[in-house]
Amino acid sequence: MIRMNLLPREGRAQRKPAISLKVGDLVVPVAMLAAAGLVIAGTAVSQRVRIASLEKSIAEVESQSRALAPQIERVQRLAQERAELDLRLGIINRLEKGRTQTVRLMDEMARCIPDHLWLTSAAQDAGSTLSLEGVTFSNLVVSDFMSRLERSPLFAGVELDVAERGVVGERDVVKFRVTCQVTPDEPAN
């Protein structure tokens, strides 16, 4: 289908809208642009004030840190001295704990020695093994000695290593070597 405009030319020209701007139409966009500019400027000023405040706080903290540096160094030095002192006290406590063990060990060993038995050597290695050597007149006395050691709370694992005939002076004797384990130091009764 074909379309034709039958209106006269002047009527056609009226149909085209004419663009006209009024001062009132520009007020709203300009006001919005001004408001956005003010918001941006206000934010920038606020951020600068905040940055200045933070820089001032940092400067104050750094000056306090410099003022407290000698005290901090003293505290660190005291902490190091305390650690060294604690180490020394720990060593002293370990020595104190083991100090009485040898005395108790010798006392208990003396209680275990029967009549007519003489110890010639007693040696303890770095661990807990104790080696005892001695002489007596009979194997029965050695057996009695070993039984007494086994009943003692300070000794465990008593074993006879050597028992042989020997002569001391003009007397026949039995030379022996016994090993046992020393139990950990227990509180004194």
- Give pLDDT tens digits for 123-166: 988 778 899 999 999 999 999 999 999 999 989 999 999 999 98
pLDDT value for 9: 65
Instruction: Flag whether pLDDT at 13 surpasses 70.
Output: no
What pTM was estimated for this model as a whole? Answer: 0.51
Least Cα distance to 113 among 68, 145, 152, 79 occurs for: 145
Confidence of residue 189 (pLDDT cuts 50, 70, 90): very low
- Tokens, residue 107: 């006392």
Spatial CB neighbours of 149, under 8 Å, sequence gap ≥ 6:
109, 112, 155, 158, 178, 180
Least Cα distance to 154 among 125, 174, 180, 135 occurs for: 180
pLDDT value for 48: 95
What mean pLDDT value characterizes the chain?
A: 86
Instruction: Give 18-45 pLDDT, tens digit per residue.
Output: 566 676 777 888 889 999 999 999 999 9
What is the SS3 assignment for 16?
coil
